[in-house]
């Protein structure tokens, strides 16, 4: 697979593109920080670089992977979202990570919603899960806003993670849930919008 | 991304790594033979190593080749240019998969990879890092004509010997034959 073979996804505020060498410093800043504590981090610089290389290699090996999330207007990166299935993962996962300074703006919701739709529409996925550290409340809330529900029957990665199962394509397409997600994203796109409670990724 | 060039030697084919290489790589990383290169590690971690070997080509424009025994198609090693973050400078690395030791494959593949680094990627010098207890790897460096050039301490792998390879000129002037 070549870089140009990684599909590009556009949403209202974002462009999702394959991870590129120039995006690495942003990735490293998050994965060597405390922000990465629910994703196997903080990593040292060597581990962080190897993980970034693995994010890219995942596309070649699986034919799908994690996109880099860019601002449509400025091209700044905000995090990554997409599919993730290294060895030992029981099922393909929909995963996300948002740089700390980009949190609270609904960016993860917008990117993950678009990535999931891509897998359902173009790769024929009939189901998907997210493996989440039970202490990672922001991620659990995002999974729930995406309509995923805890699946206690599903196999976990290592017993320390909770499995959230996403709604199947047929249940999501055109549903009240999908409209609700799109309405929430629309709120976040409105510059005057102030979320109640605290802002969500 | 990048088109990975294919190199051939008398007995070996050097090509892009891929998913088909996972089982022998996981076997290697599950065994004590991987102790000099950060192992043993789990299958899950070994998969990420394979993905990183692949992504390295995109990030740097060069990377390690999967080395096949041309006659059988078996994966015998991962050999070639390697320069992750935290490395002192680009190196030629070699890992032989289980059951393929003692046939000179590491030397044969690394020699082709060194020539490739100079000719295809424009390197003007190259090193290899050898773990102090890895006598087999040191012999490969020695056979390739490399000479000891100090030490380097890595955040995860600890102290490693730096071996500097023949320059492009010296390699062109006779290569390993002249120094054997």
Task: Please state the three-class secondary structure of chain A as a single string.
Answer: CCHHHCCCEECCCEEEECCCHHHHHHHHHHHCCHHHHHCCCCCCHHHHHHHHHHHHHHHHHHCCCEEEEEECCCCCEEEEEEEECCCCCCCCEEEEEECHHHCCCCHHHHHHHHHHHHHHHHCCCCCCEEEECCCCHHHHHHHHHCCCEECCCCCCCCCCCEEEECCCHHHHCCCHHHHHHHHHHHHHHCCCCCCCCCCCC
Across the interface, of A45, A47, A56, the residue whose CB is closest to B59 is A56
Q: Can you tell me the mean pLDDT for B152-171?
A: 94
Across the interface, of B22, B54, B85, the residue whose CB is closest to A46 is B85
Q: Can you tell me the mean pLDDT for A68-79?
A: 98
Whole-number Å distance between alpha carbons of B165 and B176: 10
B15 CB burial (10 A radius; 0-12, 13-18, 19+): middle
SS3 state at B51: helix
Is A21 within 8 Å of B59 when comparing Cβ atoms? yes
CA of A60: which chain B residue's CA is closest? B54
Helical H segments across B11-104, by residue range: 22-30, 43-60
CA of A87: which chain B residue's CA is closest? B44
Q: In what order do the strands lie in the sheet with A93-98?
A: A9-10, A14-17, A66-71, A77-84, A93-98, A129-132, A162-165, A149-150
Using the predicted structure, report yes or no on whether residue B89 has a pLDDT greater than 70: yes
CA of B52: which chain A residue's CA is closest? A54
Helical H segments across chain B, by residue range: 22-30, 43-60, 105-119, 135-143, 168-172, 175-179
Is B52 within 8 Å of A51 when comparing Cβ atoms? yes
For residue A195, being part of any structural domain is answered with: no
Q: CB-based contacts of A149: which residues, under 8 Å, 6+ apart?
A: A164, A165
Instruction: Assess contact for A156 and A131: CB atoms under 8 A.
Output: yes
For residue A177, being part of any structural domain is answered with: yes
What letter does residue B61 receive in the DSSP assignment?
Answer: S
* Residue whose entry in the numeric block shows the structure tokens 């460096």: B141
Is B22 within 8 Å of A51 when comparing Cβ atoms? no
Q: Can you tell me the mean pLDDT for B61-82?
A: 98
Using the predicted structure, report yes or no on whether residue A1 has a pLDDT greater than 60: no
For residue A21, being part of any structural domain is answered with: yes
Establish whether the linkage from the previous residue to A42 is cis, with ω within 30° of 0.
yes
- Give B 68-127 residues with CB within 8 A of chain A: 84-86
Quote the domain boundaries for residue A68: 7-189
pLDDT at A5 (0 to 100): 85
Q: Can you tell me the mean pLDDT for A64-78?
A: 98
Across the interface, of A45, A58, A88, the residue whose CB is closest to B85 is A45
Is A45 within 8 Å of B1 when comparing Cβ atoms? no
- Shortest CA gap B17–chain A (Å): 9
Q: Tell me how many domains chain A contains.
A: 1
**C-alpha angle B33/B34/B35, rounded to 5°?**
90
Using the predicted structure, report yes or no on whether residue B179 has a pLDDT greater than 90: no
Q: Can you tell me the mean pLDDT for A146-162?
A: 96
For residue A194, being part of any structural domain is answered with: no
Q: Classify domain B7-179 at the CATH superfamily level.
A: Gcn5-related N-acetyltransferase (GNAT) (3.40.630.30)
A87-108 residue pLDDT tens: 999 999 999 999 999 999 999 9
Across the interface, of B2, B51, B154, the residue whose CB is closest to A57 is B51
B146 CB burial (10 A radius; 0-12, 13-18, 19+): buried
Q: Would you list the domain boundaries of chain B?
A: 7-179
CA of A88: which chain B residue's CA is closest? B44
pTM (2 decimals)? Answer: 0.88
Q: CB-based contacts of A124: which residues, under 8 Å, 6+ apart?
A: none
B26 CB burial (10 A radius; 0-12, 13-18, 19+): buried
- Which tokens belong to A125? 């996925």
Instruction: Assess contact for B77 and B102: CB atoms under 8 A.
Output: no
Judged by a CB distance cut-off of 8 A, whether residue B147 touches chain A is no
Whole-number Å distance between alpha carbons of A118 and A17: 13
Using the predicted structure, report yes or no on whether residue A137 has a pLDDT greater than 90: yes
Percent of chain B at pLDDT above 90? 91
For residue A39, being part of any structural domain is answered with: yes
- Give B39's contacts in chain A (Cβ within 8 Å): none
Is B48 within 8 Å of A51 when comparing Cβ atoms? yes
- Which tokens belong to A76? 């700044």
Whole-number Å distance between alpha carbons of B19 and B15: 13
Is B53 within 8 Å of A48 when comparing Cβ atoms? no
Instruction: Residue A139: give its domain's CATH number.
Output: 3.40.630.30
Most A CBs within 10 Å, among B23, B55, B87, B154, to test the A interface: B55
pLDDT at A197 (0 to 100): 75
- Give A 34-73 residues with CB within 8 A of chain B: 44-58, 60-61
A163-198 residue pLDDT tens: 999 999 999 999 999 999 999 999 999 988 888 777
For residue A152, being part of any structural domain is answered with: yes
Rounding to the nearest 10 degrees, give the CA dihedral for residues B86, B37, A31, B57.
70
B124-134 residue pLDDT tens: 999 999 999 99
Judged by a CB distance cut-off of 8 A, whether residue B154 touches chain A is yes
Q: Can you tell me the mean pLDDT for A15-19?
A: 98
């Amino acid at each position: 697979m070549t870089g140009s073979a990684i599909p590009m996804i556009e949403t209202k505020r974002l462009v999702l593109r394959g991870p590129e060498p120039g995006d690495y410093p942003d990735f490293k800043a998050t994965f060597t920080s405390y922000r990465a504590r629910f994703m196997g981090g903080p990593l040292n610089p060597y581990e962080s670089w190897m993980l970034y290389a693995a994010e890219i290699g995942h596309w070649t090996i699986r034919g799908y992977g994690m996109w880099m999330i860019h601002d449509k207007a400025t091209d700044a990166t905000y995090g990554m979202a997409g599919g993730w299935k290294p060895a030992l993962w029981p099922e393909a996962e929909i995963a996300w990570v948002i740089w700390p300074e980009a949190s609270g703006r609904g960016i993860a919701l917008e990117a993950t919603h678009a990535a999931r739709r891509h897998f359902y529409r173009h790769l024929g996925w009939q189901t998907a899960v997210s493996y989440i550290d039970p202490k990672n409340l922001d991620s659990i809330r995002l999974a729930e806003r995406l309509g995923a529900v805890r699946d206690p029957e599903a196999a976990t990665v290592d017993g320390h993670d909770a499995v959230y199962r996403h709604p199947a394509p047929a249940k999501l397409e055109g549903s009240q849930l999908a409209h609700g997600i799109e309405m929430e994203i629309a709120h976040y796109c409105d510059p005057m919008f102030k979320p109640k409670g605290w802002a969500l990724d | 991304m990048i088109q990975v060039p294919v190199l051939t030697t008398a007995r070996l084919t050097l090509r892009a790594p891929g998913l088909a290489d996972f089982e022998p790589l996981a076997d290697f990383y599950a065994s004590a033979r991987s102790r000099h290169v950060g192992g043993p590690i789990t299958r899950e971690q070994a998969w990420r190593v394979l993905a990183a070997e692949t992504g390295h080509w995109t990030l740097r424009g060069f990377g390690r080749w999967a080395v096949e025994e041309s006659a059988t198609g078996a994966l015998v090693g991962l050999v070639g240019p390697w320069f992750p973050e935290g490395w002192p400078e680009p190196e030629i690395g070699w890992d032989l998969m289980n059951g393929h030791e003692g046939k000179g494959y590491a030397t044969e593949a690394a020699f082709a990879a060194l020539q490739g680094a100079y000719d295809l990627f424009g390197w003007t010098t190259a090193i290899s890092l050898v773990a102090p207890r890895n006598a087999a790897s040191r012999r490969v460096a020695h056979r390739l004509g490399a000479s000891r050039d100090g030490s380097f301490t890595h955040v995860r792998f600890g102290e490693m010997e730096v071996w500097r390879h023949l320059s492009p000129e010296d390699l062109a002037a006779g290569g390993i034959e002249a120094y054997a």
